[in-house]
């Protein structure tokens, strides 16, 4: 896409409107050289792209070090969603953050007697895959004094495990 510079250092998309009362062909970008276009004040900006880990939330066109360039407004890219992890990865992750199977069972045992405690123990002993947003995990890690960030870091490591 061509951008027209008018006044100096102000760039707007060129939509084919006449320049100095002359209407140029819409495909002028394919027909003329960059130097010839620049004489009319038309430019194809260089796009440096968006760095890894960032997202573009908007853009402008500016002359940077003499080069007409697309300038992206950048923000950190959101983290990818957490994947479910298999039981061995879950147990390994729990150990890495300092919680053993025996401690988990002990924490579950401290829950008030009833269906919730019984179900928590059954889930912990038999669940084959675990979700990061599992309420049991939140209860256990909070009881162990761990922050959500610590658990997130351990979970991301567990997602990478292969055997």
Dihedral angle over CA of 151, 153, 159, 163, nearest 10: -100
The 10s digit of each residue's pLDDT in 124-150 is: 899 999 999 988 788 778 878 889 899
The 10s digit of each residue's pLDDT in 19-67 is: 999 999 999 999 999 999 999 999 999 999 999 999 999 999 999 999 9
The 10s digit of each residue's pLDDT in 61-105 is: 999 999 999 999 999 999 899 999 999 999 998 888 888 889 889
163 vs 37: which has the higher pLDDT: 37
Q: What is the pTM of this model?
A: 0.60
Domain-by-domain residue ranges, the chain?
Answer: 3-76, 85-159
Q: How far is CA 34 from the centre of its chain?
A: 36
Q: Which residues, including other chains, have CB under 8 Å from residue 103's CB and lie 6 or more apart?
A: 144
- Preceding omega of 10 cis (within 30 degrees of 0): no
User: What pLDDT score does 146 carry?
Assistant: 87
State the Cα–Cα distance between residues 107 and 161, nearest whole angstrom: 26
Q: Which residues, including other chains, have CB under 8 Å from residue 87's CB and lie 6 or more apart?
A: 127, 128, 129, 130
User: What pLDDT score does 97 carry?
Assistant: 85
Residue 98 has which token pair? 């300092």
Mean pLDDT in residue range 106-125:
90
Burial of 140 (0-12, 13-18, 19+ CB in 10 A): buried
Assign 156 a pLDDT band (cuts: 50, 70, 90).
very high
């Amino acid at each position: 896409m061509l951008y027209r510079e008018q006044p100096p250092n102000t760039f707007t998309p060129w939509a084919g409107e006449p320049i100095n009362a002359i209407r140029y062909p819409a495909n002028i970008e394919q027909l003329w050289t960059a130097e010839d276009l620049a004489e009319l004040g038309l430019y194809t900006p260089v796009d440096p792209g968006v760095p890894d880990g960032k997202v573009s939330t908007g853009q402008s066109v500016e002359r940077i070090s003499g080069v007409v360039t697309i300038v992206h407004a950048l923000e950190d890219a959101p983290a990818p969603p957490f994947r479910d992890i298999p039981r061995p990865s879950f147990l390994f992750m729990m150990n890495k953050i300092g919680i053993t199977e025996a401690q988990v069972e002990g924490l579950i045992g401290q829950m008030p007697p009833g269906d919730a405690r019984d179900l928590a123990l059954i889930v912990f002993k038999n669940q084959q895959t675990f979700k990061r947003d599992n309420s049991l995990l939140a209860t256990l890690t909070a009881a162990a004094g761990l922050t959500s960030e610590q658990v997130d870091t351990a979970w991301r490591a567990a997602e990478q495990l292969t055997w």
